[in-house]
Amino acid sequence: MSDRAIKAAKRFVRSFGIEDARDLANFEQIVRSRGARIFDDPTLTSAIGRIVIGDRNNAVIRVADALPPPRRRFTIAHELGHFELHAKQTNLVLCSDSDVGSVISSRAIENEANVFASNVLMPHFMFKKCLGTAAPTYQALKECQRFFQVSFEAAALRALEVCREPLYLLKFVEGSLVWGRQNNEWRKHNRKTLPRGMQPGSYSALHYAGVGSSYEEVDAEEYDLSADLELKDVLLRGGEYPLVMLTLA
């Protein structure tokens, strides 16, 4: 299903003659040109985005008030994904905060809309040029975040798809590991994934995500992942952006 979303995003980018990130500067105007009206909706409380599809060329997108600009931008692109992909399936979609930009939503159409949004806002050929050829660094991802007007997390997730280096991205919330995601290159080099039953928040999961054949409980404040000889580098750490990106040695 993600292939369908990628193809639809490529068609959209081509149809509007988008060749540079500057062409996406006024993304909302592009969406309006497609036939979707956009409104801020203070009544949206259990959701951050909503789309009502009239016909193939007519839709109304509503977004929650006071969303940060990158979050608003991705939400609109996500709803556009529903417009492009799901008009024949449904004429109304209500999207929660956990649906938009989620690594894995519980609903297939939300996953498709996220793939579409990522590929429209950060087209592969543009993102690859911005990122460079080596494994992504913090500075490179910050530049991509600024260039494409997306969140740091969205840029890091896109790097997993675009970069040919083996990468494993982990996200923490209040010190607890909430998800980990590998790219295809990591899977080719290392078959290990987080074991079933390992609880989020266990820093042994962080250790196991490396290329080692075993794991152990460690003190998060004392454990320095960069000291693990089987890991090449820790490119991203916690703090302002609670993401850790691993690369293979």
Each residue's pLDDT tens digit, 217-228: 333 333 344 344
Residues 77-106: what's their mean pLDDT?
91
Which CATH topology does 2-121 take? Answer: Arc Repressor Mutant, subunit A (1.10.10)
Q: How far apart are CA 82 and CA 110, in angstroms?
A: 8
- Of 29-43, 99-113, 125-139, 200-214, the poorest mean pLDDT is in 200-214
CATH 1.10.10 region(s) of the chain?
A: 2-121
pLDDT at residue 232 is higher than 80: no
Q: Which burial class, exposed, middle or buried, applies to 141 when counting CB atoms under 10 A from its CB (0-12, 13-18, 19+)?
A: buried
pLDDT tens digits, 96-127: 999 998 777 778 999 999 999 999 999 999 99
Instruction: Pick the closest to residue 148 from 79, 98, 73, 38 (CA basis).
Output: 73
Is residue 164 very low, low, confident or very high in pLDDT (cuts 50, 70, 90)?
confident
